[in-house]
Amino acid sequence: MQKIAILSYNGSALFELGCAVELFALPRPEFEQWYECDVVSFNPGPLKTTGGLTLSARQIESLHEYDCLIVPSWPTQISQLQGLLAEQVVEFYQAGKRILTFCSGAFLLAGLGLLNGREATTHWRYAEKFQSRFPAINYVPDVLYLYDGQIGCSAGSASAIDLGLEVIRQDFGRQIANQVARRMVISAHRKGGQSQYVETPVLPNPGRFAEALDWAIANIDRSYSIDMLADKANMSRRTFDRRFRSAFNMAPNQWLINQRLRVARQLLETEQSTVEQIATYAGFDNASSMRHHFRKSMGISPRQYRDQFAIS
């Protein structure tokens, strides 16, 4: 049984800490094997956290008994790290044990020099500060997470869940990882290389443009062109494309493919229709086209996706 330590400190970010607890510390009697997990701290408690709440963690002086360390967050302004915590984390790393960081947690490993010469990431809002302070690290922008078997770094808050599910998948297999995802009401595993940015952000100024996109989603099973959407938005195609890139940071056609894939994923998870029928319902020209975009986006076929994520 693997023992996991979730590191807490004064000022811990509750969401990321909660993600780690939900993924690894929640009792799961439905599985024959699962992790043994403690929320730990090198500081005496109670600890202050975001929102004015206090936390009682297991106070430790050593990480020797643990196999994996999770750093859900870490202050981004601390430049010098020393003392017992620093010594223990370095020894943990040198022993070849696994360390996962969520969001700003990468700043702890970076400050200890453990990421020098390695690829790493963090939340996009800290990217400039991270690169400026740690030039010896090969910072990778705009990915959800990086994981090489010993060190994993996730980006924004929710991508911690994606990294955690990948670790669970590698430890216990795809079926158990899917059960954990389903219990968390997460429909699919996102690959680490996906963008940190949300595919469909809320538009700040709704109007004809937003109405055209609402129509596109409501009529996703229909075959229509980007020119038709531009007409519905009462824009020239050139203006529509420019507005689209400004709002979504992608071309309209890619956005449309993403929407069709979203519908296809939902149908594959919940319906028994054939792949050919689902391709039609999602507005793809044919099943071959849907298979192509599935593999390009998720690295698996629609049938494999159904095998993994269908709700029984």
Confidence check: pLDDT of 203 > 50:
no
271 vs 179: CA distance, rounded Å: 18
Q: Which residue has the higher pLDDT, 205 or 257?
A: 257
At 279 the pLDDT is 93
pLDDT tens profile 230-267:
999 899 999 999 888 887 788 899 989 988 998 898 88
Confidence check: pLDDT of 202 > 80:
no
Q: Mark residue 64 as left, alpha or beta (left: phi above 0; alpha: psi -120 to 50; beta: remaining).
A: alpha
Q: Do the Cβ atoms of 97 and 66 come closer than 8 Å?
A: yes
Q: Which residue has the higher pLDDT, 201 or 84?
A: 84
- Residue for token digits 């493919």? 257
Average of per-residue pLDDT across 38-64: 90
The helix (H) or strand (E) run that includes residue 47 is: strand 47-48
Average of per-residue pLDDT across 282-298: 90
The helix (H) or strand (E) run that includes residue 11 is: none
Q: Mark residue 172 as left, alpha or beta (left: phi above 0; alpha: psi -120 to 50; beta: remaining).
A: alpha
